[in-house]
Structure 1
């Protein structure tokens, strides 16, 4: 069952971030964060420092996208 993870960290450029993503395991959440930050901000994995990964209850999640994904019964990935 997927969970919502809140990932907190910073980058070597000085940017701090808090991202909520959906994943089966914490590792999946980290991979999603690396992918999103790398593509949006042209950062390499070595430039991203993860400080904390925690599970968030759907009722206290701030990300609407994460809440919507939790409502779905089945997600098909290609």
Structure 2
């Protein structure tokens, strides 16, 4: 059975959105965990530190998706 792959343009848009979201999560996490740490409750501080891990993860997944979209575009041409 053949798997249906989304169009490379759609995958590229999703990848760009995921990379932007990952960058925003990273910046939010760094600012919360290291700049506003004295003003945050403990749970919020822990969440900010978690964003420092989750942001780059989303960024890396988006980058791999972007590479796949570019490869699909190259193979289709």
Q: TM-score, normalised by structure 2?
A: 0.26
Relative contact order higher in (CA < 8 Å, ≥ 6 apart): 2
Larger Rg: 2
